[in-house]
Amino acid sequence: MSGILSFLNRRHMPTTMFFLGTTASEHPEVLEEAHTSGHEIGCHGLDHLPAATSDPKEFEAKVKKSKEILEKNIHHSIAGFRSPDFSLPRWLLPQLKGLGFEYDSSVYPCLPIMSWYGLWKAPIYPYHPNLRNPEETDEAEKFLEFPLAVMPDVRLPAGGGWWLRNLGTTYSLLSLSRLLKKGPAVLYFHPWEFTENLNLNIEKKYFGGAFRPPLMFGRTGTYLFRLIDRIREEFSPDFVTIKQLMDSMTKQPLHSYALEATS
C-alpha cells in the first residue's frame, strides 16, 4: 500500500479510498497513512460480504460498526459508501442515508454482467437517486450517487477491474475521452491490482469465497501504473476525491475527474 500512496502522492493525485472496517482494525497504520496523505476515506462495509446476500438489519449493523471504526481512527466524519461487489438491493440507499452518509458510489450503469452488477438504465454521471430505485433520479433528494465509468451508448464497464486492465489502453482512453466531454469519470482500483505478476500464482487463490480464473488477474502491477500515467498525459484531468467533486457540484459545472482506490 505504501507503494501506491507514494505513486499517488508524487503525482499530487488525491483519491477516495474505501476501507473495510476489518482492514481498518487490523491495519490502522495504513488507514492513518492514507488519511494524513490527503486522501478521502470512505466506507466499504465491514467484511466485504455483498449486501444482496445479507440480512438487511445485520448488514446495517455492520456498516454502522465499520463507519464508527473509521471515524474513530481518523477523527473525521465519513461521507461516502461503496458496496462490496457493487451489490445494491433496494433497501440499501435508505439505510445509508439513515446512517449519515452523504453519497454512495455503488451504481455500475452498465449492461448486466452475469449476477455481479449492472444497472443499465441508471444515469452515467453523478445524480440524485430515487432511494428506493437507484436507476431513477429524484431531484428533491439531497443524497448523491456517483456511478462508475462506462463506455457511453454501448454501456460496457470501463470503471476498473478486469475491464480496465484487460481490454487494453485504447479501450480505456476511448471510454474516458467520451465520458469526460460532458462530465466526470469515476474509476476504481483494488490494492492487489498493483501487485506485479499477480496472475502467476493465482490459480488457487480465492477472492470473496468464489474461485476466479487466472485471466481475471492479468495485467497487474506495472501495466496499471502506466495506464494511470497515460490517462494523465492524454487528458490532463483534475484528479479529485469524490467528496471534492460532490462539493463542486453546487459551485461549477462538472468537468473534474475522480480516481478511487478500494481497500
The domain segmentation of the chain, as residue ranges, is 2-262
Instruction: Tell me the pLDDT band of 212, cut-offs 50, 70 and 90.
Output: low
HSE (side-chain half, CA atoms, 13 Å) at 195: 11
Separation between Cα atoms, residue 206 and residue 227, nearest integer Å: 26
Furthest-apart CA atoms within the chain: distance in Å: 50
- % of the chain surpassing 70 pLDDT: 88
For the segment 92-131, what is each residue's pLDDT rounded down to a tens digit? 999 999 999 999 999 999 998 877 789 999 999 999 999 9
Q: Is 262 helix (H, G, I), strand (E, B) or coil?
A: strand
Q: SS3 of 127, please?
A: strand
Residue 206 pLDDT more than 50?
Answer: no
CATH code assigned to 2-262: 3.20.20.370
The whole-chain average pLDDT of the chain stands at 88
Distance CA 134, CA 117 (A): 13
Question: Per residue in 187-214, is it b (16+ CB within 10 Å) or e — as a string?
Answer: bbbbeebbbeebbeebeeeeeeeeeeee
- Whole-model pTM above 0.75? yes
- CA dist 149 and 122 (Å) reads 12
Residue 213, amino acid: P
- Res 168 pLDDT > 60: yes
Under a CB-based contact definition with an 8 Å cutoff, are residues 190 and 164 in contact?
no
Taking residues 188-194, report their average pLDDT: 91
Strand partners, 201: none
pLDDT of 62-87, one tens digit each?
A: 999 999 999 999 999 999 999 999 99
**pLDDT beyond 80 at 211:** no
- Give the mean pLDDT of 169-180: 94
Lowest model confidence (mean pLDDT) among 15-29, 126-140, 192-206:
192-206
Percent of the chain with pLDDT over 90: 75
